[in-house]
């Protein structure tokens, strides 16, 4: 009888113990969708993410970024040329708005705190600035009366990794608010700037900058090329299902 009761107790214990295990197995299939905003220095982007929970401690995910502001496009020598009396006669920008990243997320204590490792790509951009006048070096007059100089800025194939630390606050049913902060390191791609003659060199009466002036403007363009970013921040609202 004692042996039978002991056996039944063991079976009951195993049944009760299996309940949280079954719940945990269900959590392995948990999905997460998030919307928010990120700073991917120098880009500020709106984001939408899909995350798949692999276990109580690990998750993987993908994020699509849509650029709202790109400080790199706004902060260079030619972008302020109107105020520098260079009179940009025309400017054009061919910039991609979308970027993205993939990530691995680790919950070391199986709770709200997490660590994230990401691999992502910044959107490319190309800016053309057609100067209305050039500098005159070594002369009494500060600027030429016309110009045939084109300044071109580019950012291309910039890939990065980030290491982030974050927290999730749960509220309502299956809803949470998430914040992350981390370090961003660019690992591929680059930036360039160059001053060159454009098609106006063939226009009648155009005053073409000499080599010294063009080299000087090239140096100004290169000196204002943005340095690689180093900061990451995200704030998102999420739902689990």
Residue 2 within any structural domain of the chain: no
Is 4's pLDDT higher than 60? no
* CATH classification at residue 219: 2.40.160
Q: Does 42 sit behind a cis peptide bond, omega within 30 degrees of 0 on the bond before it?
A: yes
Is 230's pLDDT higher than 70? yes
- In this predicted structure, what is the pLDDT of residue 95? 79
Distances (CA, A) of 37 to 61, 86, 184: 16, 36, 16
Confidence grade of residue 20 (pLDDT, cut at 50, 70, 90): very low
Query: What average pLDDT does the chain have?
Result: 80
How do 98-106 and 113-121 pair as beta strands? antiparallel
The residue written with tokens 């706004």 in the block is 74
Q: Which residues contact 197 (CB under 8 A, 6 or more apart)?
A: 148, 149, 150, 208, 214
Is 224's pLDDT higher than 50? yes
Dihedral of the CA atoms 209, 213, 217, 222 (nearest 10)? 120
Is 139's pLDDT higher than 70? no
- In this predicted structure, what is the pLDDT of residue 239? 93
Residue 175 within any structural domain of the chain: yes
- In this predicted structure, what is the pLDDT of residue 19? 37
Residue 24 within any structural domain of the chain: no
DSSP 15: H
Point out the least confidently predicted range of 8-22, 116-130, 217-231. Answer: 8-22
Point out the least confidently predicted range of 42-51, 90-99, 111-120. Answer: 90-99
Q: How many domains does the chain have?
A: 1
Domain that holds residue 95: 29-240
Task: Convert the pLDDT of each residue in 58-97 to its tens digit.
Answer: 999 999 999 999 888 777 776 666 545 556 655 667 778 9
DSSP 143: B
Burial class (CB in 10 A: 0-12, 13-18, 19+), 180: buried
Q: Nearest-CA neighbor of 234 among 156, 125, 110, 118?
A: 118
- In this predicted structure, what is the pLDDT of residue 63? 97
Residue 5 within any structural domain of the chain: no
Q: Give the containing element (helix H, strand E) for 229.
A: none
Residue 12 within any structural domain of the chain: no
- In this predicted structure, what is the pLDDT of residue 32? 95
Residue 66 within any structural domain of the chain: yes
Mean pLDDT, range 175-189, rounded to an integer: 95
Is 231's pLDDT higher than 60? yes
Confidence grade of residue 3 (pLDDT, cut at 50, 70, 90): low
Better-predicted residue by pLDDT, 131 or 116: 116
Residue 44 within any structural domain of the chain: yes
Better-predicted residue by pLDDT, 17 or 31: 31
Residue 7 within any structural domain of the chain: no
CB-based contact 83:95 (threshold 8 Å): no
What are the backbone angles phi and psi of residue 232, rounded to the nearest 5°? -135, 140
Is 44's pLDDT higher than 90? yes
Is 201's pLDDT higher than 60? yes
């Amino acid at each position: 009888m004692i042996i039978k009761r002991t056996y039944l107790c063991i079976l009951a214990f195993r049944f009760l113990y299996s309940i949280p295990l079954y719940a945990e197995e269900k959590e392995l299939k948990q999905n997460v969708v998030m919307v928010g905003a990120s700073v991917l220095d120098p880009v500020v982007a709106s984001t939408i993410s899909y995350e798949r929970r692999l276990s109580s401690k690990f998750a993987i995910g993908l994020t699509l970024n849509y650029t709202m502001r790109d400080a790199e496009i706004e902060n260079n020598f030619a972008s302020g040329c109107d105020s520098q009396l260079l009179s940009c006669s025309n400017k054009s920008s061919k910039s991609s708005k979308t970027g993205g990243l993939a990530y691995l997320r680790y919950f070391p204590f199986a709770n709200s705190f997490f660590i994230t490792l990401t691999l992502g790509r910044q959107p490319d951009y190309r800016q053309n600035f057609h100067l209305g006048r050039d500098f005159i070096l070594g002369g009494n007059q500060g600027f030429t009366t016309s110009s045939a100089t084109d300044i071109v800025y580019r950012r291309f194939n910039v890939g990065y990794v980030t290491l982030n630390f974050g927290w999730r606050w749960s509220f309502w049913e299956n809803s949470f608010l998430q914040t992350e902060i981390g370090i961003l390191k660019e690992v591929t791609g680059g930036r360039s700037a160059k001053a060159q003659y454009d098609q106006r060199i063939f226009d009648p009466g155009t005053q073409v900058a000499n080599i010294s002036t063009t080299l000087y403007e090239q140096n100004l363009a290169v000196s204002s090329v943005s340095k690689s970013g180093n900061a990451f921040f995200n704030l998102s609202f999420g739902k689990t299902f």
